[in-house]
Amino acid sequence: MYHIMLVDDEQNILNALRRQFASPSFQDTEHSKFQVEIFTSPQQALQRAEEGVAFDLVISDYRMPEMDGVAFLKAFKRIQPNAERLILSGYADLEALVGAINEAQIFRFITKPWHDYELKSAVAQALAHRDLLRDNQQLADQVRLQRGVISKQEMALRRLEEESPGITKVHWGEDGSVIFDETDLSDDAAQEADKWLNSTK
């Protein structure tokens, strides 16, 4: 289930958005289970985000009297950086939004009034992107864990080699005997090995 936050100072817009998330056209996608919370106040929405409830997606209107949508989404990003962010805006706001979209790392803007298929597509893409980032993070964590295990093994081998040089380079014969490779030995060590071998004959 995806946790969605909708923020707009106009209650009728919030109601329309909530109806969209409950409509059959939204329910036929792979991202079809939604828990939706709505807020007419950006400040209250930020307080909710600070309560530790993780949101997968937040959709905000651009023009709100208390705080504009870009400022809200930037503040939201500081609290929950992994949530995808969409912004609703009229055509007149597009020029002002271009720089702000990059600033707040907004995934996409949706023009008002929106077309149902456009909203559905933007939500599906944002949630798919969210899932991809989450999967990539999990894989990266697994790789770091594996690299950590490997580096611990390498450190142990280096420590053993420092304490007993050559111990990690022992070659064993089929019968369990130790095979000396004279190319691995210094001249002095090779002479010592030859003396020892001759003395045991």
What does the pLDDT look like over 33-77, one tens digit per residue?
899 999 999 999 999 999 988 999 999 999 999 999 999 999 999
Which residue ranges form the domains of the chain, and what is each CATH number? 2-139 (3.40.50.2300), 170-201 (no CATH)
pLDDT for 59 equals 97
pLDDT for 23 equals 85
Banded pLDDT at 140 (limits 50, 70, 90)? confident
Q: Which amino acid is at 37?
A: E
Residue 80 neighbours by CB distance under 10 Å: 18
In which region does residue 178 sit, left (phi positive, over 0), alpha (psi from -120 to 50) or beta (all else)? beta
pLDDT for 177 equals 74
Q: Find out whether the peptide bond into 24 is cis, omega within 30 degrees of 0.
A: no
pLDDT for 13 equals 95
Q: pTM to 2 decimals?
A: 0.69
